[in-house]
Amino acid sequence: MAAFATTALCLAACAPKAPNIAAGTPIPGGVPLTPEHTLSPGDQFEVRFPFSPEFNDRATIGQDGRVSLKLIGVALLGGLTVEEATSRLKSQYAKQLKAPELSVTIRRYAPEVIYIDGWVNRTGIVRSEIPLTLSRALAQAGGVKTGAKTDEILIMRRDASGRTQAVAAGLGRYAGAGRPDQDPMLKSFDVVYVPKTAIASVASFVQEYTKNIPFAVSFGVGTPAPPAQTVIPQTNLGRPLPPSPSVTPQ
Q: Is 234 in a helix, a strand, or coil?
A: coil
Residue 146: partners with Cβ closer than 8 Å, 6 or more residues away? none
Residue ranges of the chain with per-residue pLDDT less than 50: 1-30, 174-178, 217-250
* Contact in structure between 61 and 78 (CB atoms under 8 Å): yes
Residues 122 and 192 in one domain: yes
Residues 131 and 195 in one domain: yes
Residues 31 and 126 in one domain: yes
Question: Could you give the CA distance from residue 180 to residue 2 in angstroms, rounded to a whole number?
Answer: 32
- How much is the pLDDT for 189? 84
- How much is the pLDDT for 200? 82
Question: Could you give the CA distance from residue 213 to residue 209 in angstroms, rounded to a whole number?
Answer: 7
Residues 25 and 72 in one domain: no
Query: Domain count of the chain?
Result: 2
Q: Print the domain residue range for 141.
A: 2-36+111-209
Residue 131: partners with Cβ closer than 8 Å, 6 or more residues away? 37, 109, 112, 185, 186
What is the value of pTM for the model shown?
0.66
- How much is the pLDDT for 24? 44
Q: Is residue 187 part of a domain?
A: yes
Residues 98 and 136 in one domain: no
Ranges assigned E (strand) in 129-230:
153-158, 164-169, 191-194
